[in-house]
């Protein structure tokens, strides 16, 4: 397990963002102060998290035409690249989510898939560390867009050969290039993507540009005929994998999952109870033929490796786990195959990041009136959500670490006074974060604390800390 890099405390994150280049030192200073306040109170609305003067300054900052999301995020992305360089080899996780503000008339928002609801699409690239640790290192790439076109009728044909450069599918290669380009020389990255990335054009472009990747297959693709053979029956990936020998087995713990809303997404992500699964892993080299609707400038064949992960002896009432992964990493040995599987297993961290952004930072509840202000607020909260994710990561992945890695000495002193359970002289990070969660209403028998209880607990702790500091200061003055 890789050693976590030094903890980024609240004041350090503010310092990191102080280097944002707006051409005006006052704006850079305002961003640092704003982030410091929001890290301290992430689960509160702006009016509750900020003083009247801070709130007015925040609204002016978000509305300022000289302020853009790219400028806000630049110092965090540069610091993320530095953290990646320390690790040497990282995974870059890519995924898309809807940022939903419900039905309304906020200026510049567009349609989402659900009825009259409005918002924007967010595609994000999160860097995490190697090995089982999967330490969250920061956000390397961000892309947002608004769907302002009317819905297309079902059954419409795809774009003509060569594709549409403005299509949403282009975001995948744009973000891969953007995040790869931010990394320092000598840093090796594996780009990890889910089923939506299963595109011949994307895989061929990454292959041609020397980028490593693991992408989950969405289609049982037809394979190319052997070299020199022009006609004949073509096999599919499933046929080749059906003959493949099991190279390795692994037992993993599957977490409980609530089925997602919607018929289509519920079919892809059905509900399940927690269980331990036995997985059989196989792998084969394959060649894919160029598909019909991509540019003829792309190669006619694409040599890749395919890795299959299939659950053995799943419960009768459960859908067995099965992943088919496309990669250009080697599969000659069982260890190499397992490394591909572990790269893909890290993908869940970006889903946790989206929960931190939505449930921990309440990005969808920010009461701002237009897309410019909302995107500036998003860019401001992206590093805050990373900080929340990392705090929980330390408490969960290295619970034996010192509590001072996640909380200040004053905060620990307050916790010892107000907690309903004793907190020892040298508590661990895991013990400290459970104490914080209890302040937020978490009950021990409910399992690990969620984002809301941690956010509310941190809010309560920081309010108590302010009172503690004020009372201590008054005692000093009276003496």
Q: What is the CATH number of the domain that holds 418?
A: 1.10.740.10
Examine residue 101 and state whether it is found in any structural domain, yes or no: no
Examine residue 449 and state whether it is found in any structural domain, yes or no: yes
Given pLDDT bands bounded at 50, 70 and 90, which one contains residue 233? confident
Burial (CB < 10 A; 0-12, 13-18, 19+), residue 65, is: exposed
Examine residue 435 and state whether it is found in any structural domain, yes or no: yes
Angle at 218 between CA 347 and CA 345, to 5 degrees: 20
List the single range of 132-146, 152-166, 236-250 with lowest mean pLDDT.
Answer: 152-166
Examine residue 209 and state whether it is found in any structural domain, yes or no: no
Is 80 exceeded by the pLDDT of residue 16? no
- Per-residue pLDDT reduced to its tens digit, 54-103: 778 777 878 888 888 998 899 899 999 999 999 999 999 999 999 998 88
Look up residue 134 and give its two tokens: 């999967």
Bridge partner residues of 222 (DSSP): 236
Q: Which tops the pLDDT comparison, 210 or 39?
A: 210
Cβ neighbours of residue 97 closer than 8 Å, sequence gap 6 or more? 121, 122, 124, 354
Length of the chain counted residue by residue: 479
Examine residue 450 and state whether it is found in any structural domain, yes or no: yes
For range 191-212, the mean pLDDT = 95
Examine residue 406 and state whether it is found in any structural domain, yes or no: yes
What's the pLDDT at 17?
Answer: 56
Examine residue 326 and state whether it is found in any structural domain, yes or no: no
Range of the domain at 459: 401-472
Examine residue 451 and state whether it is found in any structural domain, yes or no: yes
Report the number of distinct structural domains present in the chain: 1
């Amino acid at each position: 397990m890789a050693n976590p890099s030094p903890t980024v405390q609240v004041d350090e994150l503010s310092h990191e963002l102080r280097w944002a280049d707006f051409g005006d030192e006052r704006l850079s200073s305002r961003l640092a102060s704003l982030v410091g306040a929001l890290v301290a109170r992430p689960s509160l609305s702006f009016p509750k998290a900020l003083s009247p003067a801070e709130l007015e300054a925040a609204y002016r900052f978000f509305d300022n035409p000289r302020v853009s999301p790219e400028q806000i995020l630049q110092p965090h992305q540069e610091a993320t690249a530095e953290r990646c360089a320390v690790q040497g080899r990282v995974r870059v996780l890519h995924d898309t989510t809807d940022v939903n503000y419900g039905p309304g008339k906020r200026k510049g928002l567009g349609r989402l898939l659900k009825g009259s609801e409005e918002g924007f699409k967010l595609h994000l690239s999160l860097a995490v560390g190697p090995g089982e640790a999967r330490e969250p290192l920061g956000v390397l790439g961000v892309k947002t867009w608004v769907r302002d076109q009317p819905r297309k009728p079902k059954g419409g044909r795809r774009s003509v050969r060569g594709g549409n450069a403005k299509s949403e599918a282009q975001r995948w290669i744009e973000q891969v290039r953007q995040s790869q380009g931010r990394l320092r020389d000598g840093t090796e990255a594996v780009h990890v993507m889910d089923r939506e990335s299963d595109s011949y054009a994307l895989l061929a472009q990454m292959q041609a540009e020397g980028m490593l990747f693991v992408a989950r297959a969405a289609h049982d693709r037809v394979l190319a005929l052997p070299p020199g053979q022009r006609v004949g029956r073509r096999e599919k990936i499933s046929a080749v994998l059906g003959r493949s020998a099991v190279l390795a087995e692994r037992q993993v713990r599957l977490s409980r999952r609530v089925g997602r809303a919607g018929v289509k997404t519920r079919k892809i992500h059905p509900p399940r109870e927690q269980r331990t699964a036995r997985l059989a892993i196989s792998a084969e080299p394959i060649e894919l033929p160029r598909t019909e609707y991509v540019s003829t400038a792309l190669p006619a064949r694409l040599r890749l490796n395919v890795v299959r992960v299939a659950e053995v002896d799943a419960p009768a009432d459960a859908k067995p786990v099965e992943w088919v992964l496309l990669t250009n990493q080697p599969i000659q040995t069982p260890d190499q195959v397992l490394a591909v599987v572990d790269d893909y297993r890290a993908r869940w961290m970006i889903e946790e990041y989206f929960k931190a952004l939505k449930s921990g930072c309440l990005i969808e509840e920010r009461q701002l009136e237009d897309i410019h202000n909302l995107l500036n607020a998003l860019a401001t909260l992206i590093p805050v959500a990373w900080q929340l994710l990392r705090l929980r990561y330390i408490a969960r992945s290295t619970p034996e670490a010192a509590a001072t890695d996640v909380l200040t000495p004053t905060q620990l002193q307050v916790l010892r006074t107000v907690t309903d359970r004793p907190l020892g002289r040298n508590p661990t990070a895991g013990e400290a974060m459970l104490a914080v969660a209890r302040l937020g209403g978490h009950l021990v028998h409910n399992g690990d604390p969620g984002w809301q209880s941690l956010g509310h607990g941190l809010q309560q702790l920081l309010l108590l800390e302010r009172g503690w500091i004020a009372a201590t200061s008054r005692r000093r003055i009276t003496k």
